[in-house]
Chain A
Amino acid sequence: MEPSNLFLPEIILVASIMTIPGLYMLTETKKSFALCSNLTLTSILLFLIVSWFNPEVLSMDREVSMFLLYGHFKIDIFSQIFKIIFVLVALTVSLISSSYFDEDEPHQAEYYTLLLSSTLGMLIVASANDFLTLFLGIEISAFSSYALVAFRKQDDKSAEAGAKYLLIGAFSSALTLYGISLLYAVTGSLTFDGVHAFIDGLSQGVITGNFNEVIFISSLFILAGLGFKIAVVPFHAWAPDVYQGAPTPVTTLLAAASKAMGFIAIFRVFSFTLESVSEEWKLVLGLVALASMTLGNLAAISQEDIGRMLAYSSIAQAGYIMIAIPAMTDDAMSGAIAHTLIHAFMKGGAFVVVAGLGAVGLGYSLDSYKGLAQRSQLLALSMTVCLLSLVGIPPFAGFISKFLLFYGTLQAGLSGETWIIALVIAGVLNSALSLYYYLKIIRYMYLYEPVEAKEVVFPSSIRYISLMTILLLGIIFPLYWQSLFEICKEAAIALMG
């Protein structure tokens, strides 16, 4: 018997996606769309948090995974934490959008509808248990975000970013699909469990046949396709352009939630489904991780636009997370999950401040951060906490997750393959390198005078969210790092079976 109330978040989202265009027919007030979207996301967030702490209400068990829709939809601790993150990010984006866009900005109904449907795609990816559901979820989320990136039709940059994102995204999803079709050709199955069982049998000699080359090629295709989503070198070229050109609330969604979605897909495919043929793809993933963190950090140094700089830093962060996947242990995976979670908060928090400066018309160049501390202590502090977290300086949350990630991977390297240790060393050196450009912004904010003496009042939603970011990254996560670690460990065990 399938308990349909486990489906409630998705059902509420679909209902709301249909309600907002209906509201557009009924009412002229533009506030109502934002209100509807905020209410939807808040209710889903509450539902997820309540069901997290009281799983028995839904006849659900934290230890056991639940399957819906004939096993195509999986609900376990891994999917639930990421669902909470996605809804939290979407709620943040929805809240800052209403202060970022003008009151009379056209097409607001479409904007919130697309925002919600993008979130729906992410929730589907979090629970996907077969390749078709995974692919559909990624596409639902991606199509909505193409339109969101190009949302400001009159803005030249927004349209260009949208076109680039669309063409590269379409190409990458075709590559993923071809990789999936090759896997289907070998295994005759689409579910993760079916493919996993077949490949397991293949590596243990239960099933005869030599499919190693085909599996290697298909894993390359899937890596290329999903690598576009998480923006790792050499599939990163779209990220700086899109992060710069898109409206900043949309960039927040892409940097914080869309990236985590790509990582979920990569974790499910590489750490579980293709786990027993890890010899085939291990080295490729390691090289991608190394190239990604090095090039990301080097390119970030010379950026003059805050969106581009954070985009390159995001590429580097993706490289750090990728080093855990070849390590293939529970500890390394729990570190990767922790860093993916915290990364959503850090990048989200940083882009909220960027959106705040954009909303009051200060612009997006690094120069506009000069003297931010004199304009608003709160926003400057929030940005500082986010940036120091991104470097991984104690006691902020980024330090804890990065420590778990590097420590878990190092353990795996010491007990197994030694080349993984080189990846960890490269990660630590890269963190030191990244300190330069993060500190540059902090220096601008505190030590310089504002370029133009303009009095600004930041919107209250941005100030409250910045305060929440400081509390979460600076106080709550550092204090409760142990429970964060335990949750991530449970999630890693649920993921790797």
Chain B
Amino acid sequence: MIDPINFVVFSSILLLIGAYGVIRNKNAIVVLMSVEIMLTAANINFVAFSTFYNVLSGQIVVLFVTTIAAAEVAIGLAILLSLFKQRDTIELDLLNRLRW
């Protein structure tokens, strides 16, 4: 059996990659993709420890989270599309009309 600490290390690396992508990227679609990586990081924890404790609840969470991720992307793309129709760009730096 693999030591579960390996999974935690792996998932935290994934989380950091995702968070870096969210913070550094200027393109809204890439930010959405990075959020997906972060959700995957949590999923890995759930699956790994579901096996470790021999309970199914963690794997059920993963099923729900996958669905949520799909819904999130659907809504995200819809909103970004309507933004793109108005401004011809989804660069996050240009989202600056709401400012004091």
Contact = CB atoms under 8 A, between A and B. Distances in A.
Interface of A: 132, 135-136, 139, 143, 146-147, 150, 153-154, 156-157, 159-164, 166-167, 170-171, 173-175, 177-178, 180-182, 184-185, 188-190, 240-241, 244-245, 302-305, 308
A365 to B, nearest CB: 12
A370 to B, nearest CB: 20
Contact of B41 (A153, A178, A188): A178
Interface of B: 4, 8, 11, 15, 18-19, 22, 28, 31-32, 35, 38-39, 41-43, 45-46, 48-49, 52-53, 55, 57-58, 60-61, 64-65, 68, 71-72, 75-76, 78-80, 82-83, 85-87, 90, 92, 95, 97-100
Given A167-B28, A177-B65, A303-B100, 13 more contacts: A132-B61, A143-B75, A146-B76, A147-B75, A147-B79, A159-B82, A166-B79, A174-B39, A178-B42, A181-B41, A181-B46, A184-B61, A190-B57
B42 A181 contact: yes
Contacts of A171: 19, 22, 31, 35, 38
Contacts of A167: 22, 28, 31-32, 35, 76, 92
Interface of A is mostly: helix
Contacts of A136: 64, 68
B4 A185 contact: yes
B55 to A, nearest CB: 6
Nearest to B72: A170
Contacts of A164: 95, 98
A132 B79 contact: no
A150 B82 contact: yes
List of 10 A-B pairs having minimum Cβ-Cβ separation, nearest first: A181-B45, A174-B38, A188-B53, A241-B98, A181-B42, A177-B42, A178-B42, A159-B83, A170-B35, A153-B82
B8 A185 contact: yes
A163 B80 contact: yes
A163 B46 contact: no
13 contacts: A150-B82, A159-B83, A162-B82, A163-B80, A163-B90, A163-B95, A166-B76, A180-B42, A181-B45, A181-B49, A185-B8, A188-B49, A188-B53
A157 B95 CA distance: 9
B83 A163 contact: yes
